[in-house]
Amino acid sequence: MFAFSDTLQRRFAALKSTADFWSLRYVQECRESYWVRRHVAQAPSFVDDGGAMLTARVGAVEAYAATSDLSQIGLQSALERAEQMARALTGYNLLALGDLPQSAEQADDVIPGYPQPLAGAAHWFELLMAESALIPRDDRLVDSHVGLTFTRHEQIYLNSVGACLRRAQRYVFPQVGVTASDERDSQSRSFGGTHLARQGGAEVLQQLGVLGSAARIADEALQLLLAPNTPNGARDLLLMPDQMILQIHESIGHPLELDRILGDERNFAGTSFIRQEDFGQYPYGSPLLNVSFDPGVPGELASYNHDDDGTPAERQLLIKDGILLRPLGGALSQWRSGLPGVANSRACSWNRPPIDRMANLNLEPGDQTLAELIGGIERGILMSNNRSWSIDDARNKFQFGCEWGQLIENGELRGVVKNPNYRGISSRFWRNLRAVGDASTFEVMGTPYCGKGEPNQVIRVGHASPACVFADIDVFGGAA
């Protein structure tokens, strides 16, 4: 752990610069992936990637350069390129960054169990083959996969005012999926889709209940194949946590990213229906809606002590009792806008600069059990596990599809329905929040695939949510 730290700090101390401020952010990631598809082991994948981003501020201008050459010469060359670009941009800069504060924090952030090595490839293939064997031999089950990816991440941030922040994390991404087909229709069912991810080690597989799930997933794929299409019309909608996290991500997370609100992302990822003047007064949802930025949840995918600019991370409510309080904006966006934000300035790799990103964005639990949520619905539908999404560039109008649906009539779960979809407008949808599940329905999940920025950054985001009920939502089946 941190094997390169002493060498890196010596090399940073030896860097020569006439800039007013400079920094270095070193990242090393090692990824190993194991897959079994249709009961056949696939070739394992191993990726090792590392490098450093050097930043220089000259007067009011800041620029950066990245390098995979971590020698003294390589780091010095990158810093000189950054300084040269900063000087060349003087007079053309849109922002005067000379007064932007810089972190002098020093801390280590290491997840529990990180130093312990993982088992070897043979162990993981044995485990995955055993899980795959639980899938029945049925001609209608035309495809299946079980997979497991581990990513080890080490990061060191140093700057010229004395900061030294070291972070060591391990991420676990399990997957189980089955596709059923009868030559007229195909239906897929998965365990969490791409939303099943946490920090940790082998213990995550037990925590998430992945092991032993393949037989149930296969059975549910067959049930979907035989099920009728989802009916069309307005119904109460019960969303399970694995779909709630997509809803939170797309219609709360992205609209609240402050750089989008300030216009930085409009050429690529889009803008937001939220305006700067909305904070502190805008009724984002019903009084049952409470949403937090919480980087301290153990095991959640984006838990950390400091963001990638060195700002200390702490829990903040973004929405309280339905009222919008603060955006997802890091130190730079806070400085530009004068709005309070959070420590969410993050980069996906050593060759990308930090920008405003979601991290752990969670919907706080309410007070109803799942049975009580279902019992309170006269005419509705339960939907689980996202399979498709579409939302406009202001993150307002949306249409989402799920893998699994079940009708709810007179407070009881009824038959399975396939191709469940729903649509709405973010600014109205959350105001229709009628009931929020308690801690027994609350699940910690996440995704490694949130894309944003130019050049593009695909980053890990944590989400946690209980099950929730929304009133009078437009639902429809695959034929609509």
Which pLDDT value is given to residue 269?
A: 84
Which pLDDT value is given to residue 479?
A: 63
Domain boundary, last residue among 174, 191, 226: 226
d(CA 221, CA 382): 16
d(CA 37, CA 178): 10
Which pLDDT value is given to residue 316?
A: 98
Structure confidence at residue 478 as a pLDDT band (50, 70, 90): confident
Q: Do 10 and 28 reside in the same domain of the chain?
A: yes
Q: Rounded to 5 degrees, what angle do the CA atoms 206, 207, 208 make? A: 90
Domain boundary, last residue among 226, 256, 280: 226
Q: Do 210 and 339 reside in the same domain of the chain?
A: no
Range of the domain at 117: 5-226
Average pLDDT over residues 451-479: 94
Q: Do 92 and 240 reside in the same domain of the chain?
A: no
Per DSSP, the three-state class of 397 is strand
Q: Do 348 and 369 reside in the same domain of the chain?
A: yes
Q: Is the Cβ–Cβ distance between 318 and 293 less than 8 Å?
A: yes
Which pLDDT value is given to residue 183?
A: 86
% the chain with pLDDT above 70? 100
Within 10 A of 234 (CB to CB), how many other CB atoms are there? 11
The conformation of residue 95, written as its DSSP 8-state character, comes to S
Q: Do 252 and 339 reside in the same domain of the chain?
A: yes
- Tokens coding 207: 């925590």
Q: pLDDT tens digits for 165-213?
A: 999 999 999 999 999 999 899 999 999 777 789 999 999 999 999 999 9
Q: Is the Cβ–Cβ distance between 450 and 468 less than 8 Å?
A: no
Count of the separate structural domains present in the chain: 2
Per DSSP, the three-state class of 345 is strand
**Amino acid letter, residue 279:** F
| Res 31 pLDDT > 70 | yes
Q: Is the Cβ–Cβ distance between 324 and 278 less than 8 Å?
A: yes
Average pLDDT over residues 13-28: 98
Which pLDDT value is given to residue 194?
A: 72
Which pLDDT value is given to residue 234?
A: 97
Domain boundary, last residue among 226, 245, 262: 226
Average pLDDT over residues 104-122: 95
d(CA 429, CA 434): 11
171, burial (CB in 10 Å: exposed 0-12, middle 13-18, buried 19+): buried
Q: How confident is the prediction for the chain on average, in pLDDT?
A: 96
| Nearest by Cα to 192 from 35, 386, 32 | 386
Which pLDDT value is given to residue 480?
A: 46
- The CATH number that applies at residue 116 is 3.30.2290.10
Q: Do 261 and 407 reside in the same domain of the chain?
A: yes
Residues 6+ apart with CB under 8 A from 249: 358, 361, 447, 450, 461, 463
3, burial (CB in 10 Å: exposed 0-12, middle 13-18, buried 19+): exposed
CA 306 to chain centroid: 17
Q: Do 206 and 281 reside in the same domain of the chain?
A: no
Average pLDDT over residues 463-468: 98
Q: Do 154 and 195 reside in the same domain of the chain?
A: yes
Q: Is the Cβ–Cβ distance between 294 and 363 less than 8 Å?
A: no
Q: Is the Cβ–Cβ distance between 66 and 74 less than 8 Å?
A: no
Q: Do 383 and 406 reside in the same domain of the chain?
A: yes
Helix, strand, coil percentages (3-state) for the chain, rounded to 5, are 20, 40, 40
Q: Do 250 and 330 reside in the same domain of the chain?
A: yes
d(CA 388, CA 205): 25
Q: Phi, psi at residue 353, to the nearest 5°?
A: -80, 150
Q: Do 266 and 353 reside in the same domain of the chain?
A: yes
| Res 124 pLDDT > 80 | yes
Q: Do 397 and 453 reside in the same domain of the chain?
A: yes
Q: How far is CA 418 from CA 245, 461, 468, in A?
A: 21, 29, 20
d(CA 7, CA 465): 42
Q: Is the Cβ–Cβ distance between 339 and 258 less than 8 Å?
A: yes
21, burial (CB in 10 Å: exposed 0-12, middle 13-18, buried 19+): middle
| Nearest by Cα to 226 from 189, 190, 259 | 189
Per DSSP, the three-state class of 109 is strand
